[in-house]
Amino acid sequence: MTMLRPTELAPVPGAQEMLVNLGPQHPATHGVLKVVLGIDGERVTRAVPHIGFLHRNHEKIEESRTYHQVIPYLDRMDYVSGLQNELPFCLAVEELAGIEVPERAKYLRTALFELNRIISHLVWIGTYMLDLGAITPFLYAFRDREAALDIVERTTGGRMLPNYFTFGGVRRDINPRFWQELTGFVDYLEGVLPEYEALTVEAPVFRARTVGIGVLPPAMAINHGISGPMLRASGVAHDLRKDQPYDAYPWLDFEVITRREGDSWARSKLRCQELYQSIDLIRQCARKAPRTGPYLGKGRLKIEAGRQRYRAVEASRGQLGVYLYSDGGPGPYRSKHRSPSFTNLQVLPDLFVGQRFSDVIAILGSMDIVLGEVDR
C-alpha cells in the first residue's frame, strides 16, 4: 500500500542497514500493522510504522447517522473490549444533552466496563505470550475469557459487539442472576490469576526477555500523550477513573497503580495488577449496586447547535476519548475518536531504535495495541 518515502530510503550515516518489513500480517493478533525496520546487524536503526490497513472511515459514517445509530459503530473500534468504546460517546452526549443516568445504571455500566477490562487484558496476556513462544497461556486465557464472554452475552446479546450502553444508562435490563454470576466469575478468576502470573509474568524466561527492554521515560510519555498502563508503568499516576471520574467510580474505593521502571516487564506486571484491581472493583459494584431501580434515565436527546465536548474514559489501553461537535441535528456533526492505541503507537520509533532485533516483538506486545482503534 504505502510505499517507502525518500526519507525512509535515505541511509542512516555510518550504518549498513538492511530494510526489513514487519509486515501487515502478524502471527499474533496485533492486527494489520506494518513497521519498516532498518537493521544494522542486530540493532534497529530505524523504525517507521505504517497504519491505515484497517481504516474503515468511522468518523465520516457517523456524521450521517443519528446518535443512537452511532453506538454500534463504536464497538468495532477496539473490538477486543467491546463495551468500553461506547462509554465516552454516551458520556459526552449525556453531558451535552443533560440526560440523567440513574444509580443502578451507573453501577451496571461500571461493572461491565471493568469486566471488559478483564476480557481485554486476558487477550493481551495470551497473545503476548504467544509472541514470545509460550503457547499454553493463550489457551488458558481464552478459556477463562469464555466465562466472562458468556456473562456479557447473556446481558447484552453479543460477545464481541455488544451495543448495550446508551444515553442515560443501558439498553435492556439484566437477568436476575447477573450479579451472582459476575461475582462467581471473579472469584474463580482470582483463584487462577496467581497461576497465570507464575506461568507468564513471573517466569524467569519472560523476565529475561522483558526486563529493561523498551524503557519509556515519564517525561516523554506525558509529552507524547501516552496513557493507560504504558504511562502508569513509567511512574505517572494518571488514571481518568480517579482524575475525572464517571459512572460509579466516585463511589468506589481503589488506588491508582503505578510502577517505576517503565520497561516492558513493568507494563506487563501492571496489567496483571490491574486484573486484580478490576476484580476488586467488580466486587464493590456487586456489593453496592441497588437491585431495583430504573436502568435508563430520562432526558431529551437534543443538543443545541455549536455545542462541543471532549470526554475521555480510562479504557484498558489508555485514554479513550470522543470529541463531539453538534450542529443541532439528529446526529453528531463531527465525532472524532481519540484512541489510546493510535497515540501510544507514536512512540514506537523511539522505543524500537537502538534495541535488539529480537526485542522488537517484546516491546510491541507490551504496548498492547489493537489496530481496530488505531485505524478506526
Partner 1 sequence: MVPQDRPALRSIPIPKDRRYQPRHVGYSALKRFTVRELLSYGLLFFALAALLVTIYSLLPWLIKQVPAFVVGGELSGWGQVVYGVLAAILGFTVVAVAALILILMLRKYLALVQNRYGPLHYGPAGAFQTVADAIKLLVKEDFTPGKADRLVFTLAPLIVFVSALLLLTVIPFAPGWVLADTSVGLLIIIAAGTIGAYGVLLAGWSSDNKFGLLGGLRATAQLISYEIPLALSLLTVAVWVGSLNLSAIVEAQRMWWTALPLVISLLVYLIASLAEIKMVPFDLPEAESELVAGFNTEYSGMRFGFFFVAEFGELFLLPAIAVTLFFGGYHQPLAGWWDFAEVLRGWGGFGEFLANLYGLFWFLLKTALLSWLVMWLRATLPRFRDDQLMELCWKVLIPLSLVGLVVAVVLRLVFK
Partner 2 sequence: MSETTLDDQVRKLALGVETVYHAQSPAAYRRLGERLYGAGYDFPQCLSGVDMEYGLRAVVNLRRLRDQAEVTLWLDVAYEAPQVPTLCDLWGGLEWHEREAYDLVGLHFSGHPDHRRILLEDDWTIHPLQRRYDTGGYLIPEWRPKPWPEAADSDQAPVEAAEAVTPKEAETGPSELSQLKSLSAAFAAKLQAQGITSLKALAELSDEALAPLATAIGLKSAAAVAKWREQARQLREGA
Per CB under 8 A, residues contacting partner 2 are 1-3, 5, 7, 51-52, 55, 57, 59-61, 63-64, 220, 222-226, 236, 238, 243-244, 305-310, 312, 319, 321, 323, 325, 333-334, 336, 338, 342-343, 345-347, 375-376
By the 8 A CB rule, do 114 and 151 touch? no
Which option in partner 2, partner 1, none does residue 132 bind, with CB closer than 5 to 8 A by kind? partner 1
By the 8 A CB rule, do 370 and 85 touch? no
Span between the terminal Cα atoms of the chain, in Å: 17
Cα separation, 138 vs 135, whole angstroms: 6
Among 15, 20, 256, 301, binds partner 1 (CB under 8 A): 20
Q: How far is the CB of 244 from partner 2 (least distance, A)?
A: 6
The verdict on 352 binding partner 1 (CB under 8 A) reads no
CB atoms near residue 146 (< 10 Å)? 10
Phi, psi for residue 117 in degrees, rounded to 5:
-65, -40
Cell of 229: 498502563
Cα separation, 11 vs 5, whole angstroms: 12
Q: How far is the CB of 223 from partner 2 (least distance, A)?
A: 5
The verdict on 123 binding partner 1 (CB under 8 A) reads no
The verdict on 287 binding partner 1 (CB under 8 A) reads no
Of 37 and 91, the one with the shorter C-beta distance to partner 1 is 37
Q: In what order do the strands lie in the sheet with 319-327?
A: 305-314, 319-327, 334-338
Binding string to partner 1 for residues 300 to 339, with x set by CB under 8 A, is what? ----------------------------------------
Angle (CA) 203 205 211, round 5°: 90
Of 98 and 354, the one with the shorter C-beta distance to partner 2 is 98
Q: How far is the CB of 111 from partner 2 (least distance, A)?
A: 25
Cell of 81: 473490549
The verdict on 196 binding partner 1 (CB under 8 A) reads no
Among 101, 129, 233, 370, binds partner 1 (CB under 8 A): 129
Angle (CA) 356 357 360, round 5°: 95
The verdict on 16 binding partner 1 (CB under 8 A) reads no
Size of the site for partner 1 (CB under 8 A): 31
* Half-sphere exposure for 110 (CA within 13 Å, toward CB): 29
β-strands 43-50, 319-327 pairing: unpaired
Q: How far is the CB of 371 from partner 1 (least distance, A)?
A: 17
Q: How far is the CB of 139 from partner 1 (least distance, A)?
A: 4
